[in-house]
Amino acid sequence: FVLFVLVSRGQITVTQSPSSKSVLPGESITITCRTSSYASDEMNIYQQKPGQAPKLLLAHVTSCQSGVSDRFSGRGSGTDFSFTISNVQTEDAGDYYCQHDYGWP
C-alpha cells in the first residue's frame, strides 16, 4: 500500500536584481533574490551560457556543487538571498538564475 499526499504550498514569486550588469575581471558582483513569501533555505542558483543547459552552481543557497569554483558563494534564508561571484573571470560570463526549490513538505 502506497499513499501519496500532495500538499499545495502556493505560488512563490522570485525577484532577482540587478537584471543585468557588466563587471571587469577581478571585480565582484552580488545578485539579490527575494521571494514573495517564506522560502526557508530552498533557493538554488543556476548559470546558463548561450546554447547550453542551465548548470546548478549552488543548492539550498550555500551548498557549492562539485566542480564549481569557490569564488561562487551564497547566503540568506527566509525571503532574502544573495549570491556573490568574487574575483570575476571572463569565463563567468552568462545568465544567472535564482530558483526556488519547493522540495518536499
CATH number at residue 96: 2.60.40.10
Q: Is residue 12 part of a domain?
A: no
- Take residue 56 and report the three cell numbers written for it: 546548478
Q: Is residue 27 part of a domain?
A: yes
Number of separate domains in the chain = 1
pLDDT band for position 11 (cuts 50, 70, 90): confident
Residue 41, pLDDT > 70, answer yes
The answer to whether position 60 is within a domain reads yes
The one-letter amino acid at 64: C
Write down the pLDDT at residue 80: 94
Look at residue 28 in the predicted model and tell me its pLDDT: 96
Furthest CA-CA distance within the chain = 58
Query: What is the arithmetic mean of pLDDT over 17-39?
Result: 91
Chain-centroid distance of CA 36 in Å reads 15
In a domain, 93, yes or no: yes
Q: How many CB atoms lie within 10 A of CB 94?
A: 14
Banded pLDDT at 65 (limits 50, 70, 90): confident
> 49 lies in a domain?
yes
Which has the higher per-residue pLDDT, 8 or 51? 51
Domain of residue 47 covers 23-100
Q: How far apart are CA 63 and CA 66, in angstroms?
A: 9
Q: What is the mean pLDDT of residues 10-38?
A: 90
Residue 72 lies in a domain: yes
- On whether residue 7 sits in a domain, the answer given is no
Average pLDDT of the chain is: 86
Confidence of residue 4 (pLDDT cuts 50, 70, 90): low
**The C-alpha cell that represents 42 in the structure block:** 530552498
